[in-house]
Structure 1
């Protein structure tokens, strides 16, 4: 018998001062049996950093041809492909060809540097690709907040995230490894 996904609910109050986005939303995240709490939290942070009412979670780990999140246009094209982890360079190249913008959130500490050494030269050629590292040591306190029902207040200002959940107040500073071409 196959293991079933675990369902998480996250109520977010987003105040993204950098982009002028303010919204309240409740998200449903399905955690695949092989997925860690760390990866689940990174997916949630990726949603918060790109908050939009039309941004949706996809099948994720269950589908090789879909990102973790995407924002589709009204005509069905992909405006923004958002992935997490350390995917194969070919996957990212394909994503860049299929969508207007691609953002990758990495979170694996030293493994990210090794991955970048192997893939950086090829990925640097992709003008519509942005890669953002989420420091592993800053993620640890957020991973401890992973619960089946979460209520977070997320403020984004000057590129920094401030997350409040219950009595916890945690800061996180994403680091842009590669930005979209200007």
Structure 2
């Protein structure tokens, strides 16, 4: 019998200064797969906040390896945003670019080292169309600090200013850069 996912409830006050987003009561319901680490769960939450728009939703995640971790569809069902977090396969990202020509494809990594390894793999595999994807890495220390919060109901404030993220959680403040790269 398969283990059931653990449900998390994130109450987020989201501000994205550059995109003029101010969502004081964003509710994020996250189903954490039994084999998913808390670090990856937090990475999905940060990606959700970073790319937030109406109709953005979590994908099937680890249960369906080829599905995006986050996706957004327009009212006709067309994918407009395709997102992978964590360790991504360059060929699968390239396939996502090819199969979703009207979508913005993004990948959020857990560290700049992982993003650099991805870029090296993409160059080696000659996955040139990965260049069409938006690649960003979260500060590893920030993500590590947030992953210590492992309660089912979490209240936090997330603010993006340029390529920097500020998070307040449980009365503690954290911040770190978002590092961008391209092929």
| TM-score of the superposed pair, with normalisation by structure 1 | 0.90
Q: Distance in 2 between matches of 1:149 and 1:123?
A: 40
The residue that corresponds to 1:62 in the other structure is 63
Matched, 1:168 2:169: no
Counterparts of residues 107-126 of structure 1 (less than 5 Å): 107-108=110-111, 110-120=113-123, 122-126=126-130
**Which stretch shows the higher mean deviation, 93-102 or 25-34?**
93-102
- The counterpart of 1:137, out of the listed 141, 145, 153, is 141
| Cα 1:156/1:6, change in 2 over 3 Å | same
Retained in 2: the 8 A contact 1:14–1:51? no
Q: What secondary structure does 1:12 align onto? A: strand
| Cα 1:93/1:172, change in 2 over 3 Å | same
Q: What secondary structure does 1:7 align onto? A: strand
Retained in 1: the 8 A contact 2:122–2:130? no
Q: Distance in 2 between matches of 1:102 and 1:137?
A: 25
Q: Distance in 1 between matches of 2:180 and 2:150?
A: 25
Structure 1 runs of 4+ aligned residues shifted over 6 Å read: none
How far off its partner does 1:98 sit? 2.5
The residue that corresponds to 1:98 in the other structure is 99
How far off its partner does 1:109 sit? 5.5
Aligned-CA RMSD value? 1.8
Q: Per-residue CA shift, 1:74-107, capped at 9, x if unaligned?
A: 1111111011112222211111123221000111
The residue that corresponds to 1:51 in the other structure is 52
Stretches of structure 2 lacking an aligned partner (at least 5 in a row): none
Stretches of structure 1 lacking an aligned partner (at least 5 in a row): none
| Cα 1:127/1:110, change in 2 over 3 Å | closer
| TM-score of the superposed pair, with normalisation by structure 2 | 0.90
